[in-house]
Chains A and B, each alone.
Chain A
Amino acid sequence: MKVLIIGATSAIAKAAARNYAEQGCSLHLIARREDQLELLASDLTVRGASKVSHSVLDLNKFKEHEKILDAAFTELGGVDIALICHGSLPDQDKVEKNFKQAQKEINTNGISVISLLTELAPKFIEQQQGTIAVITSVAGDRGRQPNFVYGAAKSLVSTYLQGLRGKLLPYNIHIVDIRPGLVDSPMTAQFPKGPLWSSPERVAEKIVKSIRRGSHTVYAPGYWRIIMFVVGVIPEFVFKRLKF
C-alpha cells in the first residue's frame, strides 16, 4: 500500500506511520521540521516500510500545496491512503483577544486542510480509488468555552468532509473523519492527565482500523462518541453556563 502522511511528525501521525511501516507499506511524509522527518524516516525503514520518502513544508504556505502534493504522488506512484494529521492547540484566552493569532490558528487547523483537500480531490478522482482520512477533533462537535477557536477550525473541516464524502462517492473514494478525544502527546504536555486521556498509539490503531473498514466518522477511543452525544444533547440554556 502507498500511504501519504501530512503533518507526519505529530505523535498520532508517527504512531500511525509506524503501524503502516510494520505492514510493509511505502510511505511519503510531509512536515515542517526536516531533522524530525529524517529521524522518522529511518525509524520507519527499520520497522519494515518498503520505501520512505519525505518533503519539508510549513503547511501554512498554501501556495506550495499543489507542488508538494504533485511531488508526493510522483514519488509514490499514486496514493492509496492520504492521512492529514497536522494541527496546533492554541491558548484560548490569547487567541480570542487577538484576531491575528486566531486567524493563524484557524489557518493551521482549518483552512490549510481545505486547501490540501482541494488539491487532493482531483488527484484521487483521476485514480478512481483511495481513502482520504483527516484528523479533526471532538472539540469540533460543540463550541465549548475553553477551546472554541480550535473547535471552530476543526468543525469547519468536519463539515467540509461531510459534503466532500458524497461528492467523491461515485469515484470510489472514501473519506474518514477521525475525532480523537484527549490524547497524551507533546501537543498537550502542559495539561494534567486523567483517566479519559489515551495514548497516541491507541488512537493510531483505531485510525488504521477505521481506514481499513471504511468507517465514516470515528471517535478515538470509541467512548468519546458517548461523551460527545451527552455533550450534544445538553440544552443551550444550560450549556452556555458550562465552563468545561
Chain B
Amino acid sequence: MEVMGWGRYPKTTAELIQPADSQALQKFVSSQKKSASCIGRGSGRSYGDSALSEQLVSSRFLDNFLELDEQQQTLRCGSGVTLGDILKVCIPRSLFLPVLPGTKAVSVGGAIAADVHGKNHHLDGSFCAHVKQISIVLASGELMSCSEQENVELFRATCGGMGLTGVIVEACLSLASIPSSYINQKSVVARNLKECFEHIEENADSKYSVAWLDCLATGKNLGRSVLYLGDHAAAKNRKTDTMYRERSGLGVPFSTPSFLLNKTTMSVFNSSYFALQKRKKSSATLSCDDYFFPLDGIANWNRLYGSNGFLQYQFVMPSESAFEGITSVLEKASENGKGSFLTVLKKFGEANENLLSFPESGYTLTLDFKNEAALFALLEELDRIVLAHDGRLYLAKDARMSEEVFKASYPNWERFMAIKKKYDPDNCFTSLQSNRLGLTP
C-alpha cells in the first residue's frame, strides 16, 4: 500500500503489519529475515520519512490502558494509545499530560520516539522527561524494560530515537494535576522580532508560551508577531471544570489545488491575520482543545497544501545566536518569496540527556512550505544558516536533510550508533530517514 507521513512527502509503498498484541509483535520481529527491515508506526503524524520503511509495524491494536494510579499520578498504557485518549480519561479526574504537542492524535509510542515538546518546554522539558518506564520489543524479539534506573543506555537511545532501537509497546507516564481544563490565554502583539524576543523573556514564568510570526513581513516589520501566553484557569467549582469537550470540526475531504497557495495569498493571509489579532481582545479563556490543538479542529488540514504535500522546517538555535540566525532565515525565506501560514517561534529550556532528542536551550522556529521543486535549494541554504548558528533540525519534521548536516548538528550520533549496534546488530529497524542520515546502511 502507498504510505506517507503527515507532510504527504515523500510517498512510498510498504507492507503494513498490525500485530493484535505484543506477543504477536514479538513473534513477527523474531521471525524477520536478516535482510528485511521494518519500523514502528503510530498515528503517522511525523511529517517526513521517519515512519516509512519496507514494512511498517503499526501500534494500532496496542491501544489498551493498563493502570491509572490517581494517588501516584501515573498511567501505564500501550504505545498505540493517543494523547487525546489519555486526556479523555485524565481530565475528569483533574489530571493532565505534562507535555502536549500541537496535535492530540499523536500516539504515546510516537511521542516517545520523537521526544516531542510542547508550549511549556521552557519550564517542564520534553515528553520523555515525564516517561517513567518503557517496554520495548528488540530486534531479537525479546521484550525489554528500560528507564532512568534500568537499561539506562537503551532508555537514552529510545527516547527521541525515532524507533530505531525497537518497537515501543508500553510506557508508564507521570501525570500532572490541574485545577481546571480551561486555559487563560493572554496575547501580546510585537511589532518586530526584537520585541517578540523581549516579550518572551519577560513572560518566561508563564506556563505556556508560543508566538505566531508573519513570515512575509520585511524591513522594520520583520518578525512582527503575536505571542500567546497561557496558564491553567483556576477551578470555579463547577462541573465544567473537569469536563472534556472534544471539538468535532470541519474536514478537508481532498487535496486542494496547490496553486492557491502562492506568495500573494500567503501574504494576504499573514497580514490580515496579524491585523485581526492586533485588534482582538488580549485575554480570553479557552477550552483545552482550542488552546492546545487549534489545527485538530480541521481534520486532514495537511491536504490544504495540495497533492504534492508540504515540508515543515523546524530548527533550534542557542539563545546567543538565535536572534541573528532567525533574522537571516526569515530574510532568506521572504527574499525567495516562500511563505508559510504557520510560522511559530518558541523558547526552549535546557536540553536533556537523550542522544537524539531535538530540544536544546534556545529558540525554535517552525515554518511550513508547500512542496515544489524550487524549495529544496532554499532549504539547503537555510541548513547552512542553521549550522552556522550552531542549530539543528527536528527529526520528526525532517524529510530531506543531508547526512552531513545531521552528523554536524547532532553530536551524540556516534554514541547512538554504538547502542543501536548492540541492540540491533543486523539493522532490523530502519527507516527511509535513518538510511538517508547514515544511521543505518
The answer to whether the Cβ of A189 comes within 8 Å of any Cβ in the partner chain is yes
Q: Are A186's CB and B67's CB within 8 A?
A: no
The answer to whether the Cβ of B290 comes within 8 Å of any Cβ in the partner chain is no
Q: Are A186's CB and B61's CB within 8 A?
A: yes
Q: Which residue of B lies closest to A39 (CB)?
A: B64
Q: Are A42's CB and B65's CB within 8 A?
A: yes
Q: Which residue of A lies closest to B23 (CB)?
A: A35
Q: Are A47's CB and B89's CB within 8 A?
A: yes
Compute how far the CA of A9 lies from the CA of B158 in the bound complex, rounded to whole angstroms: 31
A-B CB contacts (within 8 Å), total count: 32
Q: Are B20's CB and A46's CB within 8 A?
A: no
Q: Are B65's CB and A43's CB within 8 A?
A: yes
Q: Are A40's CB and B64's CB within 8 A?
A: yes
List the A side residues contacting B61 at CB < 8 Å: 11, 186
Residues of chain B in range 82-125 having any CB-CB distance to chain A below 8 Å: 88-89, 92
Across the interface, B20 reaches (CB within 8 A) one of A22, A42, A186, A192, namely A186
The answer to whether the Cβ of A48 comes within 8 Å of any Cβ in the partner chain is yes
User: Chain A 179-193, CB within 8 Å of chain B: the 1/0 string?
Assistant: 000000010010011
Compute how far the CA of A151 lies from the CA of B128 in the bound complex, rounded to whole angstroms: 49
Nearest-CB distance from B67 to chain A (Å)?
6
The answer to whether the Cβ of A127 comes within 8 Å of any Cβ in the partner chain is no
Q: Are B65's CB and A189's CB within 8 A?
A: no
Q: Which residue of A lies closest to B62 (CB)?
A: A39
By CB atoms of chain B within 10 A, which of A22, A42, A46, A186 has the most?
A46
Compute how far the CA of A160 lies from the CA of B325 in the bound complex, rounded to whole angstroms: 73
The answer to whether the Cβ of A36 comes within 8 Å of any Cβ in the partner chain is yes
Nearest-CB distance from A176 to chain B (Å)?
25
Q: Which residue of A lies closest to B92 (CB)?
A: A48
Compute how far the CA of A47 lies from the CA of B75 in the bound complex, rounded to whole angstroms: 12
By CB atoms of chain A within 10 A, which of B20, B61, B64, B92 has the most?
B64
By CB atoms of chain B within 10 A, which of A22, A36, A48, A186 has the most?
A186
Q: Are B21's CB and A46's CB within 8 A?
A: no
User: Chain A 42-72, CB within 8 Å of chain B: the 1/0 string?
Assistant: 1100111000000000000000000000000
Known contacts A36-B21, A186-B61; decide if A46 and B1 are in contact (CB<8 Å). Answer: no
Q: Are A46's CB and B18's CB within 8 A?
A: no
User: Chain B 53-72, CB within 8 Å of chain A: the 1/0 string?
Assistant: 00000000100111110000
Compute how far the CA of A189 lies from the CA of B89 in the bound complex, rounded to whole angstroms: 29
Compute how far the CA of A9 lies from the CA of B131 in the bound complex, rounded to whole angstroms: 29
Known contacts A22-B88, A192-B1; decide if A47 and B65 are in contact (CB<8 Å). Answer: yes
List the B side residues contacting A40 at CB < 8 Å: 64
List the B side residues contacting A36 at CB < 8 Å: 21
Q: Are B89's CB and A39's CB within 8 A?
A: no
Q: Are B88's CB and A42's CB within 8 A?
A: no
List the A side residues contacting B1 at CB < 8 Å: 192-193
**What are 26 A-B contacts with C-beta separation under 8 Å?**
A22-B88, A36-B21, A39-B21, A39-B64, A40-B64, A42-B66, A42-B67, A43-B64, A43-B65, A43-B66, A46-B65, A46-B66, A46-B67, A46-B75, A46-B77, A46-B89, A47-B65, A47-B89, A48-B89, A48-B92, A186-B18, A186-B20, A186-B61, A189-B18, A192-B1, A193-B1
Besides A35-B21, A46-B65, 8 more A-B contacts (Cβ < 8 Å) are A11-B61, A40-B64, A42-B67, A43-B64, A46-B68, A46-B75, A48-B92, A193-B1
A residues near B (Cβ < 8 Å) are 11, 22, 35-36, 39-40, 42-43, 46-48, 186, 189, 192-193
